[in-house]
């Protein structure tokens, strides 16, 4: 299971560690953030202790109105052995009761200069990205006119060579050989492992650095995956789709994306075929489907022919 630590949060978001140094490696396993307003009022029945607790001006202004006994009680109940971190916004002064409670159980208390809303948004986006379900797929990921196209197929079928041809045509490489795919809130996001980022392996040539050869405009760090193209060696006994009416889907996590099977044989320009497939996908999203228009036109011709015979 993916996890983030308070130490990673501190470095990524440039947070100031105020207390609880021994707990900075506690795991954060959920992207949900809690603003403990009800808890400040004493209601802990459904306290989400495993979430990062975010304290802003509202919570701490209410906290200042409590008695000394209530302040100690609230902070001791807020700091549990399950609490991964407590973060204060706007560089607010940390209450003495929170410092003492955090030291007892080792809960890291951090502080940020950001406003509460901005901090909450930044924190949520980072945690959702890092804690999203992730899998690795053998293939190549290319950004074609803003469409993330995942190219799959057996080893040696020509995925990397096709990717090189697409890069030469002005498209952008995201990943070669291994594609890391995360299920984020806005769909599937693909990226390359850091070790092989911007690299492309061509049999007989070796490993090349696409960014060095073609410039920074030839690569992307990540891209949403919108369709997949599967390359396979031409099988004379197999009937391939010639109209495009039957849309095949590929499921990754909980998301279905269109899947096109392209047979490979000498003489076929795979880069052009995949480029056109991406353009055709964009047209379908705009409501223009050439296959359906042809099918409707063909049905009209057949219907008119039957009427003339009658």
Catalytic residue, candidates 64, 238, 242, 251: 242
Can you tell me the distance from the alpha carbon of 156 to that of 232, in angstroms, rounded to the nearest whole number?
A: 10
Task: Give DSSP secondary structure letters for 261-304.
Answer: EEEE-TT--HHHHHHHHHHHHHHHHTT--HHHHHHHHHHHHHHH
Residues paired with residue 178 on neighbouring β-strands, in sequence order? 138
Would you say 31 is a known binding-site residue?
no
Would you say 50 is a known binding-site residue?
no
At 33, is the secondary structure helix, strand, or coil? Answer: strand
Known catalytic residue at 138: yes
Would you say 201 is a known binding-site residue?
yes
Known catalytic residue at 265: no
Catalytic residue, candidates 35, 73, 165, 177: 177
CA 279 to chain centre: 23
Known catalytic residue at 230: no
Would you say 104 is a known binding-site residue?
no
With contact defined as beta carbons under 8 Å apart, do 52 and 33 qualify? yes
Would you say 154 is a known binding-site residue?
yes
Positive or negative: CA dihedral 189, 195, 200, 204: negative
Degrees to nearest 5, angle at CA 211 with 208 and 216:
170
Could you give phi then psi for residue 50, rounded to 5 degrees? -85, 0
Give the largest CA-CA distance in the chain.
96
Catalytic residue, candidates 104, 138, 168, 203: 138
**CB under 8 Å to 302, separation ≥6 — which residues?**
none
CA-CA distances (angstroms) from residue 126 to 30, 32, 114, 130, 138? 11, 11, 15, 6, 26
Known catalytic residue at 159: yes
Catalytic residue, candidates 71, 159, 171, 191: 159
Taking the alpha carbons at both ends of the chain, their separation in whole angstroms is 68
Would you say 159 is a known binding-site residue?
yes
DSSP 90: T
**CB under 8 Å to 36, separation ≥6 — which residues?**
47, 53, 55, 59, 78
Would you say 155 is a known binding-site residue?
yes
Q: Which segments are annotated as binding site for Mg(2+)?
A: 160, 201
Q: Which segments are annotated as binding site for ATP?
A: 153-160
Q: Which segments are annotated as binding site?
A: 153-160, 201
- Provide the annotated active-site residues: 138, 159, 177, 242
């Amino acid at each position: 299971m993916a996890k983030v630590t308070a130490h990673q949060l501190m470095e990524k978001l440039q947070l100031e560690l105020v207390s609880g140094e021994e707990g900075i490696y506690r795991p954060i396993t959920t992207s949900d953030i809690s603003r403990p307003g009800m808890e400040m009022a004493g209601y802990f029945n459904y306290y989400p202790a495993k979430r990062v607790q975010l304290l802003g001006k509202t919570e701490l202004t209410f906290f200042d109105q409590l008695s000394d006994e209530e302040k100690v009680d609230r902070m001791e109940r807020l700091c549990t052995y399950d609490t991964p971190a407590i973060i204060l916004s706007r560089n607010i002064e940390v209450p003495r009761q929170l410092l003492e409670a955090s030291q007892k159980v080792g809960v890291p208390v951090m502080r940020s200069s950001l406003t509460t809303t901005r901090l909450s948004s930044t924190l949520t986006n980072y945690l959702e990205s890092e804690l999203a379900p992730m899998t690795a797929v053998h293939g190549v990921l290319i950004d074609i006119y803003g469409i993330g196209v995942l190219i799959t197929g057996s080893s040696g079928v020509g995925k990397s060579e096709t990717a090189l041809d697409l890069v030469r045509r002005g498209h952008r490489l995201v990943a070669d050989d291994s594609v890391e795919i995360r299920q984020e809130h806005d769909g599937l996001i693909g990226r390359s492992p850091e070790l092989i980022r911007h690299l492309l392996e061509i049999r007989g040539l070796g490993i090349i650095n696409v960014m060095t050869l073609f410039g920074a405009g030839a690569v992307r760090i990540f891209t949403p995956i919108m369709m997949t193209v599967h390359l396979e060696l031409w099988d004379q006994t197999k009937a391939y789709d010639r109209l495009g009416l039957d849309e095949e889907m590929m499921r990754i996590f909980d998301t279905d994306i269109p899947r096109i099977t392209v047979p490979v044989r000498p003489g076929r320009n795979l880069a052009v075929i995949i480029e056109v497939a991406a353009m055709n996908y964009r047209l379908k999203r705009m409501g223009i489907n050439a296959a359906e228009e042809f099918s409707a036109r063909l049905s009209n011709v057949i219907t008119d022919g039957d009427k003339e015979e009658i």
